[in-house]
Structure 1
């Protein structure tokens, strides 16, 4: 189909109205991570900053798997909404809440066990000692976070993306406010150092759960769904429906985020200075990824709605509009990261050696913006049409069969350093984005 502004303009508007609250909410969430890294780097130094990098490497894989499973709720609720079936939407919500709560506890247990083996990863012992308490506290914060996601994904499946944005922004603002006094011991607060940032995260995640639960329980537009709450049963069949989408979705996130986490471990084998630079560049690059994931969330909602209505021409049109928006958004972020490669890292560290490495990595981060954004939107769109198994295989091959071995080969074996590691990541992202976009086109063109 030839591009016509008149054809796509309305679709851009609908998609952006769904996406911008998620984008802002995700931006607020990642800004907490940015604030943690900036404050730790400035007030505590290079070793604690490297400890955050190690902690993220340990936490990210189980955490993103759990979040991916939670995302399995959204297309099912969106499909029920498209079919105008509130009883089914409530059934999915109730089962999703129980599933997420249990999964949150299980994930924390796994993190607590795995953290004790962190010293086996070949990291600097000073870094491991700083990272372990942080891992335990932030790991426990996954428990309230997962319950929060059940409420969030239910609301987003009903095309209400603004509530989670407001709750997330308020909680994340409080998180940033608590960071400084808890890290430095300002005023009446205890000086907790790195663990202070973790305590702040734990407190605010409980507040996020409370705020989102209160909103959905009290808001009048959800009253119809609550009327079906008592009659909705928690049963294996419904849980299995969520898991059939959620587990592959979780694995998709594991394969990508796990590759980035492993890249942190590989860079840590090179040295703590390079590891700190890697953490800074990755932290900055993650801002744009978290924002573009809002377009992926909008893709899931829109595809799920149109699939429920069986409006396949509109489904294809909405999908293409989201890829257009992703392209232009990532073009902007690519340009900004490259232009600001010497400026932005100064907020994190004053170590000249760290800044020198980071400036080079920022160029690599800018280059992989486009494929990273396109694969995120493609995964969201495919999840919306309940196509999750083949995309999971694509993610595994792109990141673990190709990218991770290439990261080690280029960065450590060929001694290219951290830039070699980032070259390996970029290759994986490019291959994943091409394969996933082709998969979406192939699947939707066959829908009648």
Structure 2
């Protein structure tokens, strides 16, 4: 999970050397991508609990059917989402964003949108691999993709080793190529593994069952909405920051990228929760299900505390990694970006804990195949509570960018509390129902 964000980290650091406008352009372009990615990645998570349950039961046919139908739907969804982003591109001109930022973002978004298709297909294979408890293989594929991305970024952003100097577009080329390699390498690793080979060969994608399609959609669609509601509010933060100016938008991108890295660690624990809870559900060991879930809550909480302390201590040092402080022409802009980003990281330090609790709670609930009520909870937390706060504090008070992130803090906190209560209630109910 962290590997996905490292791709963005590398892009941001390398593009940040070109200037704050270029960094803001990547931020704006990725804001469109994040919304589409959230739907694709969120939908693909339906595959993991179904495969984990079948794996615990030793039911090969059920496991392969779950994967095949999930893969088919992810392919269809990836094409639809990429087409939607292409259609939505002109919206950038109507969003009151800095004109120079929009002009730089347009060609970048074109290539990154194409990369959405291999990314979501990769997610289908990854979620299957996770469900089989083979979590190392997606990690290996992601590490390789990151190495390729760094190499191609260096070549095409700065025009090294005979390659053309393409700036922001060069970062998009690295992202696209690395994601194609990522999905191909993961398939190869799963093909070489005896346990997973029968699942990834002979996939008759167009021999489908309406019952299984409906089951995957019923799990995947609410899961996609859950991730969409959260990612969309962070995307709203990007757009609201753009209204404040290119420097607030660049600062928002730095803080968002750093926060996304720590969030992906929490997402890793969420995947573990989904796998292990799904296993125990298949085995009908509900007391173990609850014990395992609380163990994951505790471990992820401890990690969140460490990250919070890091953001508190290094809130000024971290943003400086993204900017070229040796460029005298950009010194004033860079200083303003670092000052704003440092304030945002203080807010992020506070919501490390609640953000971790909410995403791990979602993982446990997905493992229990409970997705509809959590979807309502995430909508209320982010859009009925968080967004109005961030909109008002960000645009109508002196808080500015910090006000936007205080709204994020409110939404994540409410979501974390309510989702934890939901898991606690359901897990106790399972144990009681089994004891009767």
Q: TM-score range by the shorter chain?
A: over 0.9
Structure 1 counterpart of 2:336: 353
Q: Trace 1:159-198 onto structure 2 (pairs within 5 A).
A: 159-198=133-172
TM-score, structure 2 as length reference: 0.94
Does residue 446 in structure 1 map to residue 429 in structure 2? yes
What is the distance in 2 between the residues matched to 1:271 and 1:226?
A: 48
Structure 1 counterpart of 2:270: 296
Q: Say whether the 8 Å CA contact 1:296–1:381 is kept in structure 2.
A: yes
Structure 1's 53 and 231: CA in aligned 2 closer, same or farther, altered over 3 A? Answer: closer
The one of 37, 44, 55 aligned to 2:12: 37
Structure 2 counterpart of 1:199: 173
Q: Say whether the 8 Å CA contact 1:86–1:224 is kept in structure 2.
A: no
Q: Say whether the 8 Å CA contact 1:55–1:135 is kept in structure 2.
A: yes
Residue 233 (structure 1) shift: 3.7
Q: Say whether the 8 Å CA contact 1:37–1:49 is kept in structure 2.
A: yes
What is the distance in 2 between the residues matched to 1:97 and 1:218?
A: 19
Q: Say whether the 8 Å CA contact 1:303–1:384 is kept in structure 2.
A: yes
Q: Trace 1:369-384 onto structure 2 (pairs within 5 A).
A: 369-384=352-367
**Unaligned ranges ≥5, structure 2:** 326-333
Structure 2 counterpart of 1:28: 3
Q: What RMSD, in angstroms, separates the aligned Cα atoms of the two structures?
A: 1.4
What is the distance in 2 between the residues matched to 1:410 and 1:209?
A: 42
Moved more, 414-423 or 387-396: 414-423
Structure 2 counterpart of 1:55: 29
The one of 162, 183, 188 aligned to 1:214: 188
Structure 1's 370 and 216: CA in aligned 2 closer, same or farther, altered over 3 A? Answer: same
Structure 1's 191 and 437: CA in aligned 2 closer, same or farther, altered over 3 A? Answer: same
Structure 1's 116 and 90: CA in aligned 2 closer, same or farther, altered over 3 A? Answer: same
Q: Tell me the alpha carbon deviations over residues 68-123 of structure 1, each in whole angstroms, 9 at most, x when there is no partner.
A: 11111110001111111011101111111211111111110000001121111111
Q: Trace 1:417-428 onto structure 2 (pairs within 5 A).
A: 417-428=400-411
SS of the aligned residue for 1:117 comes to: helix
What is the distance in 1 between the residues matched to 2:6 and 2:202?
A: 38
What is the distance in 2 between the residues matched to 1:83 and 1:359?
A: 49
Residue 231 (structure 1) shift: 11
Q: Which portions of structure 1, spanning 4 or more consecutive aligned residues, are displaced by more than 6 angstroms? A: none
Residue 277 (structure 1) shift: 0.8
Does residue 123 in structure 1 map to residue 97 in structure 2? yes
What is the distance in 1 between the residues matched to 2:137 and 2:117?
A: 21
Does residue 90 in structure 1 map to residue 64 in structure 2? yes
Structure 1 counterpart of 2:330: none
Does residue 320 in structure 1 map to residue 294 in structure 2? yes
SS of the aligned residue for 2:166 comes to: coil
SS of the aligned residue for 1:249 comes to: helix
Structure 2 counterpart of 1:19: none
Q: Say whether the 8 Å CA contact 1:87–1:228 is kept in structure 2.
A: no
Structure 2 counterpart of 1:331: 305
Structure 1 counterpart of 2:226: 252
Residue 274 (structure 1) shift: 0.9
Structure 1's 79 and 119: CA in aligned 2 closer, same or farther, altered over 3 A? Answer: same
The one of 393, 402, 407 aligned to 2:385: 402
Q: Trace 1:362-373 onto structure 2 (pairs within 5 A).
A: 362-373=345-356
TM-score, structure 1 as length reference: 0.92
Q: Say whether the 8 Å CA contact 1:304–1:384 is kept in structure 2.
A: yes
Residue 236 (structure 1) shift: 2.4
SS of the aligned residue for 2:340 comes to: helix
Structure 1's 54 and 232: CA in aligned 2 closer, same or farther, altered over 3 A? Answer: closer
What is the distance in 2 between the residues matched to 1:231 and 1:367?
A: 45
What is the distance in 1 between the residues matched to 2:206 and 2:278?
A: 22
What is the distance in 1 between the residues matched to 2:135 and 2:257?
A: 25
What is the distance in 2 between the residues matched to 1:352 and 1:61?
A: 30
